[in-house]
Structure formats: C-alpha cells, structure tokens
Structure 1
Amino acid sequence: MTTFTNRPGTALLVIDMQNGVVAGAHRRDEVVATLAGLVARARGEGVPVVWVRHQDAALVPGTRAWQLVPELVPLPGESVLDKEYADAFEATELEPLLAGAGVGRIVVAGAATDVCVRSTLHSGFARGYDTVLVSDAHTTEDTGAEGVPGPAAIIAHTNLYWSQQVAPGRVGGTAEAAEVVLTAG
C-alpha cells in the first residue's frame, strides 16, 4: 500500500550491527542469530539487503568498533551505506538506492532500537514507505544510568507503538523474523 507508484519491491535494512554498537546490547547473540537467518532468507528470495553503518567519534571508519559484527557479512554487490546521523535516510544515498530498486516497502532490523532504528522507521514512514519493524531482531544497550527504562522495556514499547502505525497510503507494523513477509504482495 506504499504511496510510491511502480515501487512494489521490498528491501531489508540492517541498521548499525557494528561491534561498537552491539557489544553490550540486550540479547546480542540472539538478535544476531535471528538477523542472520532473516538475511539468508532475504537473499534466497531475491530481496535486496541494505547494510547501514554509523560513524562518529566512537565509531571511526576502519576500526574494529565501526566494523559490522563478524556473524553478519555483506555479500559482494550488496549495498553498504555509511551514515553520520541516526536516520539512515539523512545525508545518505538510501532514498535513491531504494527508488532505483523499485522499493516502496522497507523491513527494518538492527541497533540501536531507541535511536537509529526508530529514526529510520519514522523517516521511512514519513517519506511514504510501508515500514515493518522486525520485532525480535532489534536491540539496544542498557542506558538506565541515564534515567530511561531498561532495554527490554524500550524494545517492548517500540514494538507496541510501531505495530499500530498507519497513515494515508501507507502502513507500519511489526512481525517476528520467522513471520516477516519479504515480498510486497
């Protein structure tokens, strides 16, 4: 139901699954394994996988912290986009990449739930994409010392409110990795 005409395709966006981002993440190994299975399924179904990496003072390009976790490796020909803002659309080539591939629906997973995952979901939705959050394939670190709820509560809250997203001409929603429909139809 995307607002884009002639863009029936779906892409899987893997957000910031970098060593320095997920080293202390909630359920790190479980989320990585779930994502690995979803990536394999997307590849098998011919759905583009787009890898996103954040860079900043703590995630310097070329360092171990900046690199994607070793369990998740892009294949030759898969897009890898570097970003400097939480939103994967902001100041990147993501929008032209998706448009060129005929994508009007994005399936989002990765880290960090409360920053880059949410920002990308909202931005994609506001730009007209149908957006699906993979409910069991996103994670965040414990930032309770900063006065916010723990990671399990952040993940649960994000899953709850994203499951109810709807706007004229587009829908949001959540699905577990095993149940995600990777095709637009």
Structure 2
Amino acid sequence: MSTSTSTAETSFASAPRPALAAERENTALIVVDVQNGVFAESWHAGEVIATISDLVQRARDTETVVIWVRHSSGELPPDSPQWQIVDALTPQDGEAIVEKTHGSTFEDTDFEEVLAAKDIGHLVVTGAQSDACIRSTIHGGFARGYDVTLVSDAHTTEDLSDWGAPTPDKVVSHTNLYWGFESGPGRSARVQESAEVDFVAPRSDS
C-alpha cells in the first residue's frame, strides 16, 4: 500500500465524525408542506392547521426546535401564492425552512445538516400529505436511524378516490395504524395524538 493511501486512511480514521441520529439528544417538531396549494384541497384542513399551530406554540414554549419544510414543483412554483405557507402558521426568525423538490424531506436537501447542527435525534412529524411527503419523510427518517413520532391528528391529505385511492379519512387512519407497528434496532416509531405530545424521545426496546 502506498504512503499516500495510508496517510489518507489515517487522516480519515482520525477525523471527528458527527453523532449518529440515534446518539443525538434533542427533539424537533417537523412541519411539512403547510402551503396554500397543498391545504386548499386537504381533508379537515382547518382543524389540522389549528392542531399544528397549537403544537408549534407548545414547542416554542418548551424551547423545542421547530423546522419547517416547503415543497416546490410545477403546481407549487417558488414565490407563487400557492407555494406560500398558510397565513395561520408563520415561521419565526431563527426557525429553519428546508426547501425540497422531492417527496422525502431528506432527498437532495440540507435537512440532515440542519438536524445534525441542532443535535436532533427525534422527529415529531406533522403536515401533508399523509400518503406522499409525510410517508416519505417518516420512512426516510426511520431508515436513517431517527426516532420518529407521527402526530395522528396533525397530518392530512387530499381526496384522490376518483383515481382509485382510499378516501382521505382512511388514508390518515391507515397511516396512523401501520406506523405504530414500525420497528427497528436502536430507534423507535410511534403514533401520538397531539394532546399526548411532550417532545420527549421514545425509548427503543430493541
């Protein structure tokens, strides 16, 4: 083996590594795609927005990190009215907004860098859509070693039953049902109603 290769390997081995998700101490409330164009057709939109608003305030009151996620696409072009976050929910100065163009908040974004910088290992997930960006994000987080709590009454979706999908109430219920059975070594998945959320990470039994 050449000297240059050995030196490179030694340097890599001795370089400090960021803490893995499972080793991090903090919790963040993740608010996914609460945008005008998303919630215009969403099931029980007003109730879900009010629930998320309450969670955001409780997170701020307990100094829990709040991270906002905003989607851009052909239907949600940047800076358009439909791309804007709904008026009832307003990010505060200092709260990160992660811009994405894929379903999962983890794909081709700075989300993991934001989480690492704030020592976040537990994600409390809310927003839309249950069967799209919410599903992609909770699975993406769990696969990367994060504890993931889905707030059962703080996510929603639109009615796509004309295209063969279940009705929105069934989509939300099924997402809550199956996520409660998700498991893996060293991290936990759980479902909580908003009233139960205390922003404390679950303990993994694995």
After TM superposition, the score normalised by the length of structure 1 is: 0.96
2:49 corresponds to 1:36: no
- From the two aligned structures, give the one with the greater helix fraction: 2
Alignment correspondent of 1:137: 154
Alignment correspondent of 2:191: 174
**Unpaired runs of 5+ in structure 2?**
1-19
Alignment correspondent of 2:121: 104
> Deviations 1:110-157 (Å, cap 9, x if unpaired)?
000000000000000000000000000000000001111000000000
Q: Give the % identical residues.
A: 47
Alignment correspondent of 2:34: 17
Q: Is the 8 A contact 2:98 2:110 kept in 1?
A: yes
2:140 corresponds to 1:127: no
2:107 corresponds to 1:90: yes
Alignment correspondent of 1:69: 86
Amino acid at match of 2:93: P
Amino acid at match of 2:47: E
Alpha-carbon distance in 2 for matches of 1:169, 1:146: 38
- Select the structure of larger CA radius of gyration: 2
Shift >3 Å, 4+ stretches: 3-6
Alpha-carbon distance in 2 for matches of 1:183, 1:43: 14
Alpha-carbon distance in 2 for matches of 1:51, 1:10: 14
Alpha-carbon distance in 2 for matches of 1:119, 1:73: 24
Residue 39 of structure 1 aligns to a residue whose secondary structure is helix
Q: Is the 8 A contact 1:47 1:183 kept in 2?
A: no
**Unpaired runs of 5+ in structure 1?**
none
- Whose relative contact order is higher, 1 or 2, with alpha carbons under 8 Å and at least 6 apart? 1
Distance 1:5 1:126, change over 3 A: closer
Alignment correspondent of 2:132: 115
Q: Is the 8 A contact 1:52 1:88 kept in 2?
A: yes
Q: Deviation of residue 24 (structure 1)?
A: 1.1
Alignment size in residue pairs? 183
Amino acid at match of 2:27: T
